Chain A
């Protein structure tokens, strides 16, 4: 067993340290303590503790997968899992020691010793380097300098304040309580527990990798379902509330937390389901693949009908709060599908999409409001104004497209960004105040009335969004397969060559901008009707950025991808509300991770997949 072979051991150490740094960082920003408040399973494990376990677990699994290339048998993999667990816990353990009054002298010693260690390290390197290049020496000097500076500043702060806690404010009692697994009063026991639990999690990660595929998949499925339901207990409870009576609900939840029995039952059921799917799923897919085209179509139609029924029943299933989230998601789906015409189909990076949204919202507000700013005081209804909002947004899209027709790529993006800003400033300006109310906005926008009934709840507004999205979806699929779609495709690939093919690029781009703007106007109008008031604060550049991100995360030019992207990027932050500001941290981390691990998006379109790994296979042809 030569686990110490440099490449393997390096990998284990690096990933272990990485996972340790992750835990330290999340602790230092206060995430662990905040997550501890949310219990995943009642009186068993909190989300904060789960985070402590997940880091070594996932890292060990990932490293085992990488190490299995070296083919050294099972024992080294298990040992690597344990080492990773230890490495994960190590930084937190050190910090725990530094933090405790009786061991503070350790920190004192460290702060005085580290500069010497760094200096000797450099001396040793210089001695060894000898013939090595000067650059290498320079880098080492730099590292030594940085280490020296950092330790020196810590030492200084320590001398002055006498306490690290004033520097790392989140390394507080709560944090200590979580990482020691409630052994705050007996530090050694706490450190031991942390180390052991972390190592066990690492070991479990490696073990999971060594399992046969079917039970592994079943287990992963069961675990993730249980954890997700537990973590989103509040939301799940809201959904179940609609469909279960109080007593049953009380059996499952204690307030918002999953009870232990319920969690166990959920885990068993979902693991069993995962097991069945892992065993027979591929068979089912194979059988579907063997079917005749007509049969396959029948299955597809049945699936589609079930899906439509599900979509129609959704508000009834999920209740008011989540319906509200669903409407917001739907508004962004609408905008995503619209912007996708410009970005995904025609390749025009438009960062001013907010313009269309604002135009739609203000048109509806001004025309239908029964407040002082309403122009017609109720003469116009929601249904009459929707087409007007659509036309107005298209007109705005057209007007803004004309000056930027000759721009490409980055320059186009910056110009459109400027237009978005102009709209934002206009909305808040004194100049337009008599018309659209400046910072006060337009109020008293009536809800839509359908067949005499006022659609005032999110459950009812949901249907408007649903119908609008379906229409847009249909139009954009048809467009993509049309002659116009081909024009855009050619422009996206190469504008000059498109011209050489006889395509009028100016016209095609104008059309793309104009059509893309249309749904933005509708989305804005629905938003205005939903909220009942329109404020300029609602129209910031973040709307444009959000719509762009959901397209990229879901998958450029992929319609199902956009829906999923909207659910993830718009829905998730709504559901994560209880984690307050950390949700933006997670949002950012998710975006970065996505771009590294899955740049083609969650549900990529075929062409984009191909673009990202060029030269693999004839993607388009094979898929038809």
Chain B
């Protein structure tokens, strides 16, 4: 059974037909990469899934429940957590307060333990836990954004361009972390322009082109695919 099923969604910005029938599935425990060039509809897809936008046609099913019209904030308690594009940490709050905010929907007593878990995953953040998030480096902010998303104990983690604006060295670290999160049983849907890195850690991938799924295959096959190599991996 698919954890998330996106079924032929059409999403519009006013009159602009941004998604023209996108369909794909994400199974429990997988890492799925959505790749594509600028304007292909990657972020729109993610925004539609996370409830920030509504599809005009088609539906999004999460654990067989139609969530197409469910508000974004309610999805968090259902176990879908999103790391928005451009990181979006609360710049004026400390690292610790940011993480607390991530656990906003929770009322259980395990928050302290999870905070410790987050610091275990990102030791760098523990060193800076009293520091204001705006003063962190880009890589640290990305880590904080991911750690904060994990604080709501999601089963599905949506990542929007985690490598954006990061130095190549840091990109490796971020993808390494994503891999480790997946190993702990969190399903991951990853939207990336950096197709090379995304396909290295993903199980399967979908290539979006002008609001449609152009190619879908396992990550290994996509890496060998001629079109993908030419267009997205820069291999001739």
Known: A615-B134, A618-B131, A620-B97. A500 touches B92 (CB 8 A): no
A502–B132 contact, CB under 8 A? no
Select the residue from A493, A497, A619 with max chain B CB neighbours within 10 A. A497
Instruction: List chain B residues, Cβ under 8 A from A497.
Output: 84, 88-90
> Whole-angstrom distance between the alpha carbons of A621 and B93 in the complex?
9
Report the stretch among A27-35, A202-210, A457-465, A606-614 that lies at the interface: A606-614
For residue A494, give the distance in angstroms from its CB to the closest CB of chain B. Answer: 5
Residues of B within 8 A of A505 (CB): 73
Is the pair B77, A618 in contact by a Cβ cutoff of 8 Å? no
How many pairs of A and B residues are in contact by the CB < 8 Å rule? Answer: 84
Task: Decide yes or no whether A252 CB sits under 8 A from chain B.
Answer: no
Give CA–CA (A621, B133) in the complex, Å: 12
The SS class assigned to the B binding surface is: mixed
A486 to B97, CA, bound (A): 10
Structural contact, B132 and A504, CB atoms closer than 8 A: no
Tell me which residues across on chain A come within 8 A of B131, comparing CB atoms. Answer: 618, 621
By the criterion CB–CB under 8 Å, are B135 and A615 in contact?
yes
Chain B residues in 8 Å Cβ range of A618: 94, 130-132, 135
CA distance A622 to B82 in the complex (A): 31
B101 within 8 A of A: yes
- B82 and A500 contacting across the interface, CB-CB below 8 Å: yes
B91 within 8 A of A: yes
B31 within 8 A of A: no
Beta-carbon contacts of A584-624 to B below 8 Å, as 1s and 0s? 00000000000000000000000100110011001111100
CB-CB under 8 A for A503 and B91, given A486-B104, A614-B135, A618-B130: no
Q: Which residues of chain B have C-beta atoms less than 8 A from A614's C-beta?
A: 91, 132, 134-135
Given A618-B132, A621-B130, answer yes or no on A500-B94 (Cβ-Cβ < 8 Å).
no
Interface string of B152-191 (1 = CB under 8 A from A): 1000000000000000000000000000000000000000
Does A496 contact B88, Cβ atoms closer than 8 Å? yes
In contact, A490 and B73 (Cβ under 8 angstroms): no
Q: How far is the CB of B135 from chain A (nearest CB, A)?
A: 5
Q: Are A493 and B104 in touch, CB under 8 angstroms?
A: no
| Beta-carbon nearest neighbor of B51 in chain A | A499
Q: Is the interface of A mostly helix, strand, loop or mixed?
A: helix
**In the complex, A489 has a CB within 8 A of chain B:** yes
Interface hits, A415-448 → B, CB 8 Å: none
Q: Mark B76-103, 1 if CB is under 8 A from A, else 0.
A: 1100011110001111111011001110
A206 to B193: give the CA distance in the assembly, Å: 62
**Among A494, A496, A502, A607: residue with most chain B CB under 10 A:** A502
Using Cβ atoms and an 8 Å threshold, which residues of chain B touch A486? Answer: 100-101, 104
Q: How far is the CB of A487 from chain B (nearest CB, A)?
A: 8
* Minimal Cβ-Cβ distance residue in A for B102: A501
B52 within 8 A of A: yes
Contact of A493 with B105 at beta-carbon distance under 8 Å, contacts A499-B73, A502-B76, A614-B134 already known: no
CA distance A304 to B169 in the complex (A): 55
Among A494, A503, A607, contact of B73 (Cβ-Cβ < 8 Å): A503
Q: Is the CB of B93 within 8 A of A620?
A: yes
Task: Please determine whether A501 and B152 come into contact, CB atoms closer than 8 angstroms.
Answer: yes
What is the bound-complex CA distance between A487 and B148, given in angstroms? 15
Contact B72 A493 (CB under 8 A): no
A490 touches B104 (CB 8 A): yes
A615 to B134, CA, bound (A): 7
With a cutoff of 8 Å between Cβ atoms, the chain B residues found around residue A483 in the complex are: 104
Does B132 contact A620, Cβ atoms closer than 8 Å? yes
- Closest-by-CB residue of A relative to B89 is A497
What residues of A have a CB within 8 angstroms of the CB of B134 in the complex?
614-615
Chain A residues, Cβ within 8 Å of B97: 620
**Are A607 and B101 closer than 8 Å at their CB atoms?**
no
Listed by A's residue number, 6 A-B pairs whose Cβ atoms lie within 8 Å are A500-B72, A501-B101, A501-B152, A607-B92, A614-B91, A621-B96
Binding site for A on B (CB under 8 A): 50, 52, 71-77, 81-84, 88-94, 96-97, 100-102, 104-105, 130-132, 134-135, 148-149, 152
Given contacts A501-B105, A502-B75, A615-B134, 11 further A-B contacts (CB under 8 A): A486-B100, A490-B101, A496-B84, A499-B52, A499-B73, A500-B76, A500-B82, A501-B102, A501-B152, A621-B130, A621-B131
